[in-house]
């Protein structure tokens, strides 16, 4: 990880840093989402996390650190959980579906932080913003790999992979961004199933359609 | 239009209000996009528009007015230009393609304001936020009407209309939101063509596929 991607803490116990930071970041995400990045103070984050302002400053130097770690956390969750979910899944079509479903589940769990990515990435310092964009590109490649495999093994027709992957990603993000439109109509699982009908099934070859879901 | 949707001005000449407001809103969108909503002052907007702060206050009461009119402008442009573009277009499939293409062209022209919609809708007062969401729903219905017509006349297979329309909308918005990823690979027109291959063509019936593009 390059230096700009590191956030320094004054505490040396790694485990403690992780735990405390997790608590503080969760409080920050909640407030950034409710009030916006600029209107949220370190004071209010400390209050929300139930700790002192001085303690926050032992783990973070400035508000930009908090925003950066919040957004990085979402991306790292995709990069950790999608490969985990794919372990032991061998059929290319099943791998694609598992990857999309897992992406959607992470969005569901980290809804506030997902919305925050859209609202506040631009508030980050430029080199950190770059790092967040690169993280998104890496996650997209995970999905693209699954898609390419489906095409290579003749289960799907050739497609514009990068663009279809963006549709997968937007479909997943929409679960957080358009919550007001979707929450009464779908559960997460029914939303994902409807998504497959629009974004996977239409591209199946005859061989792909024969594969049992 | 209900009262919360109206922004009061101290100037009575309607034409002048429209022109001046247009200038001020464009300056505001530019600065909100570059610096974020909260970091932008009325002073800096006046400077950007090349007019005095006092003059801005003759057309707007507060910053929320400016943000609201910026976002409303995007939605009203869809609602005006999509029906205009559809005038005289009779074939359902062509109507659907024209509607999507027009949506994308509006996004292309109002890129900064489109991004602002994602970044700052939540900064609006609740009743105005509601009005913006309703505007989005109305625009979606325009597209959904075109889609339904294609299905009703047997050119497309039955689909989950509202959800596929959201994919159209995200596809269009992505042209603004993911500019960094797309600008080197596509022109607007080639982007739209690739979009049709993913979001329209796969749903065509045999009858739909026989229609000349």
pLDDT tens string A59-97: 888 888 999 988 898 899 999 999 999 999 999 999 999
- Is B37 a domain residue? no
* Closest Cβ opposite residue B118 in set A37, A118, A199: A118
Determine the residue among A163, A180, A193 to mutate to test chain B binding: the one whose Cβ has the most chain B Cβ atoms within 10 Å: A163
Subunit contact B37:A37, Cβ cutoff 8 A: no
Q: B175 and chain A: CB distance < 8 Å anywhere?
A: no
Which residues 6+ apart lie within 8 Å of A84 measured at CB? Answer: none
Q: A195 and chain B: CB distance < 8 Å anywhere?
A: yes
Distance from CA of A26 to the nearest CA of B (A): 19
Q: How confident is the model at residue B4 (pLDDT cuts 50, 70, 90)?
A: very low
- Is A62 a domain residue? no
- Is B91 a domain residue? yes
Number of domains in chain A: 1
User: Which chain B positions have a beta carbon within 8 Å of A129's beta carbon?
Assistant: none
pLDDT score of B148:
97
* Closest Cβ opposite residue B160 in set A177, A197, A203: A197
Residue in A closest to B194 by C-alpha: A160
Q: B195 and chain A: CB distance < 8 Å anywhere?
A: yes
* Closest Cβ opposite residue B174 in set A39, A123, A166: A166
pLDDT at A4 > cutoff 80: no
Q: B126 and chain A: CB distance < 8 Å anywhere?
A: no
Residue in A closest to B117 by C-alpha: A119
| CATH number, residue A136 | 1.10.357.10
User: Which chain B positions have a beta carbon within 8 Å of A133's beta carbon?
Assistant: 180
Subunit contact B133:A202, Cβ cutoff 8 A: no
Distance from CA of A82 to the nearest CA of B (A): 22
- Is B62 a domain residue? no
Mean pLDDT within A2-21: 72
pLDDT at B204 > cutoff 90: yes
Average pLDDT of every residue of chain A: 90
pLDDT tens string B137-194: 999 999 999 999 999 999 999 999 999 999 999 999 999 998 888 989 999 999 999 9
CA torsion through residues B38, B39, B40, B43, sign:
positive
- Is B20 a domain residue? no
User: Which structural domain, as residue segments, surrounds residue A126?
Assistant: 67-212
Residue in A closest to B121 by C-alpha: A119
Q: A180 and chain B: CB distance < 8 Å anywhere?
A: yes
Q: Provide the number of CB pairs (under 8 Å) joining chain A to chain B.
A: 73
Subunit contact B36:A123, Cβ cutoff 8 A: yes
- Is B186 a domain residue? yes
pLDDT score of A3:
41
pLDDT at B199 > cutoff 60: yes
pLDDT score of A16:
83
Neighbours of B157 (CB within 10 A): 13
Residue recorded with tokens 């979606």: B140
- Is A53 a domain residue? no
- Is B33 a domain residue? no
**Three-state DSSP state, A43:** helix
């Amino acid at each position: 990880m390059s230096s700009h991607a590191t956030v320094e803490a004054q505490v040396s116990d790694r485990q403690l840093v992780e735990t405390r930071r997790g608590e503080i970041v969760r409080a920050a995400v909640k407030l950034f989402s409710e009030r916006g990045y600029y209107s949220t103070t370190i004071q209010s984050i400390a209050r929300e996390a139930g700790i002192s302002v001085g303690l926050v400053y032992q783990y973070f130097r400035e508000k930009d650190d908090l925003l950066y770690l919040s957004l990085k956390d979402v991306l790292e969750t995709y990069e950790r959980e999608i490969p985990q979910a794919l372990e032991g899944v061998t059929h290319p079509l099943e791998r694609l579906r598992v990857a999309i479903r897992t992406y959607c589940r992470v969005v569901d769990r980290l809804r506030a932080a997902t919305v925050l990515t859209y609202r506040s990435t631009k508030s980050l310092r430029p080199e950190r913003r770059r790092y967040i964009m690169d993280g998104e590109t890496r996650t997209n490649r995970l999905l693209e790999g699954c898609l390419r495999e489906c095409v290579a093994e003749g289960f799907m027709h050739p497609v514009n992979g990068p663009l279809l992957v963006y549709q997968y990603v937007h479909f997943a993000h929409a679960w957080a961004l358009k919550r007001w439109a979707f929450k009464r109509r779908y559960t997460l699982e029914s939303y994902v199933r409807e998504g497959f009908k629009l974004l996977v099934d239409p591209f199946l070859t005859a061989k792909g359609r024969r594969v049992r879901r």
